[in-house]
Amino acid sequence: MDTGSTSGLYPLHRSKTIHLVRHAQGIHNVIGDKDYKAYMSPDYFDAQLTPLGWQQVENLRKHVHASGLAKKIEVVITSPLLRTMQTAVGVFGGEGYTDAVDSLPLMLANVGNSGRSAISSLNCPPIIAVELCREHLGVHPCDRRRNVSEYQCLFPAVDFSLIESDEDVLWKANVRETKEELAIRGKNFLNWLWTRKEKEIAIVTHSGFLFHTLATFGNDCHPSVRKEINKHFANCELRSMVIVDKSMLGSDSSATDYPGRIPSGPDAPSDEKLAKDKPVSGSTS
């Protein structure tokens, strides 16, 4: 046996499966990938998805249904920007919305000049907007969000209750969040996940958030595994990972462990004790 093995063992109930998704292609990505300075343009404020981005959404949606993920995911957490919420509802939302259905749509028709039909909130996991998993904060207009009250009109069935301020008080025009600050925010976000009961969670977020958060992990892994954890995400890429609760942040008990010795009391006598108590052959009672 190889005593140098680095296999790990951890209680199942102290782990969660997270499905990390970078948003599909936004209008800012098209020009920004060619000229980084373009991210400074106010034209890309809260950038929406491109037609190619919506095609990427459709492809990922087909994958999560074909792979069975759609039935496993209990909740979807999304960054509260237009491109991430469009991706979240497009991939994980219900089928086509009709007015006859007695429920609010996840997204109205043609949000962000998408030309898309409204998206139903039926037969899909709840989708919750959370500020902690936003992109790099500050300076770039594409990373500034709209007022929550405006989003609530566009995405009626998305849950915005965890966002405290209607206005975007986190984004600063002249101050860019540092990489270290972003990584700390990412760690805080992962720690926050332990306050939730769900074990299978999809997270729709951004390239910078994913890269700088995941860069803090994998130092104790084989270089190939670390590379797999830390590499940049493509638009609409999904990667499934397991996180473990090493610091007892969560309080959930196991749903599958079995304590044994039920009813309570001493175990049955051992074979040795039974043999001692057995009468000798030929003896009288």
d(CA 34, CA 137): 21
Number of neighbouring beta carbons within 10 Å of residue 261? 8
Is the alpha carbon torsion for 32, 51, 99, 77 positive or negative? Answer: negative
CA 55 to each of CA 73, 87, 152, 154: distance values in angstroms, whole numbers, following the listed order: 22, 10, 25, 21
Residue of 23, 28, 136, 212 marked active site: 23
d(CA 274, CA 281): 15
- Residues in Cβ contact with 123 at an 8 Å cutoff, skipping those fewer than 6 apart: 94, 95
- Residues in Cβ contact with 115 at an 8 Å cutoff, skipping those fewer than 6 apart: none
Catalytic residue list contains 150: no
Residue of 19, 135, 140, 177 marked active site: 135
DSSP string over 173-211 = SS-PPPHHHHHHHHHHHHHHHTTS--SEEEEEE-HHHHH
Catalytic residue list contains 135: yes
CA 28 to each of CA 37, 62, 134, 148, 211: distance values in angstroms, whole numbers, following the listed order: 11, 25, 16, 21, 18
Residues listed for the chain: 285
Give catalytic residue positions: 23, 135
